Structure 1
Amino acid sequence: MTQTATETMLRAQDPAGSSAKRTGPKRSWSDVAFTVWGVLVMLFLFLPIIVIVIYSFNTGRLLVAWDGFGFDAFLTILEKPAIQSAVRVSLITAFIAAIIATALGTLAGIAMARYPGKWVWWFLGLLLLVSVTPEIVDAVALLPWLVFLGQDLGLGMFNDGIVRLSVGSSLFATAVVSYIVRARLVGMDANLEEASSDLYAKPFTTFRRVTLALAMPAVLAGFLLAFTLSLDNTIVAAFVQVSGTTPWPVYVLSAVRSGLRPEIAAVSTIMLLLTLVALALVALVLKRAGDSATQIARTMTGG
């Protein structure tokens, strides 16, 4: 029997199966409904951001009054020292806060992963408390504390606006870095560290060349996330700032009273791009470390 005849007989015996293979499974109405609902939810969440990006190219005097398309708003940034100062303060404080949060959070995450015990759950509870406490509570608590340190105890550094903003922004970011580093190490066996100790390596050498090397992707990811989280700490910044060191979120908040201008949207667009680049770098660092998409999501969320 020839091959053509065999194929003809198979098609005659199973015409429905062949048709199903050609057309594929039919989607139910519930699948279509959930797909449409998902698209609508995504549009609802991201449409305001898209609108701000579009209006950053508005040449009008006010943000809400569209006049035409152009780059005037971005050029205005170069002509207003107040905007430049606010952006510079935000970037500097976010960078310092990220360093503080990374240093403290890395040590905390390694300790929780490598020295398990009942204390870990108590410590995780404290970190969770920091994470869920409303920012207004943190701000109200920080202000008198920083004033006490700077004026009553005479520690002049706490009278500096950059120091105040950096300390205030690092609180929540430290908890985030701790979650990420712990999530990275808790699933890794400690055999390499034990082998290093068996080979008579000093504890600091083992920590630097083995433990820290294993945790480095999470450390870098935590640093970048801490940086992005510190850029928009509006409530804490509004309370602890001092004259001359106004960060960008507080500047925008004060500009609402006189009417938002297109340059506000322009700077917001630039910061949005900066945040997206930072998140992309986080994913790239974790991917180069060999993590899957699920592992990357777990590490970034501290899961």
Structure 2
Amino acid sequence: MNLELIQTFLAVHRAGSFQKAAEQLFLPQPTVSHRMNQLEKAVGKPLIARRKSGNQLTLEGRAFYPYALQLLEVLEQGKAAVEKASREEQFRLELGCTNSLSNLFLYQKLQNFIALFPQTNIKVHSYSTTEVILAIRRGMFNLGVIRYSMEDTELSFKLMNSEHIYFIVSNRHPWASRDSVTLQDIARHQLVLYQEGKQYRETIAFVFEKMNLSLNAKYEMNNLELIKQMVAGGYGATLFAPSYMGNEVLDGTLVALPIENNPFPMRQTFLIYNKEKLNPVDQMFYDYLFASPAL
């Protein structure tokens, strides 16, 4: 789905006919019809009821209409932000991110953003969650991507993503072809984990203790890349949300196995920001993150 389809849908609705919409868009009428067919195929429902007395929105079309307007509004906001940033010579995006999220999760977001706005200069600071929050308080930058939220009178937090913890093994592991594992299975397996004292490690330990199971932390370290290499090398398995694992899960080097009756809390990702200090490029990135997936 692209913005041309959305624009065509709105034009057909407002004009009341495909021919009038084609004239307003300076397009052949068959092109307008083709675009509408593409859009309706993408959403899976008819959006415009074709009638001799005049086209009307279907029930599904009326439901879709406000979201179509929102898409175009976000695009216009983005264009306005580009113009303003360009005039002010501030076409630079600066943000903070925790080390674990900078590998795949943030890369994918930035990859799509750069495709839309290739002229943007980007600077990313990789810190701990506490350091990202402190840097935003100090005004070093206004946006950050972190793992948890809190009550705060100055800063805002918005949920970006939630995902389960999986049992991560090498693609050569005997269990790599399994559909799932149990926590009891995991308790009998040697693990590669963060060291004690990390909030993530404490969460895992708490669940094992609650289930009266032993946590076999064979190897402990504070470097995520080293943990991934240890698992890929067959020295043990680990417990992480797939977004921590980066391209190793995407390319099949590591395999993420679901945990039956998963007792672990969802791993959440939040955008933290100072709403009062967002510059035009910050706002453009914010709008991009929370616009419809169609963008």
TM-score range, shorter chain: under 0.3
Greater radius of gyration (CA): 1
Which structure shows the bigger proportion of residues in helix conformation? Answer: 1
Greater RCO, 1 or 2 (C-alpha within 8 Å, sep 6+): 1
TM-score, normalization by structure 1: 0.26
TM-score, normalization by structure 2: 0.27
Which structure shows the bigger proportion of residues in strand conformation? Answer: 2
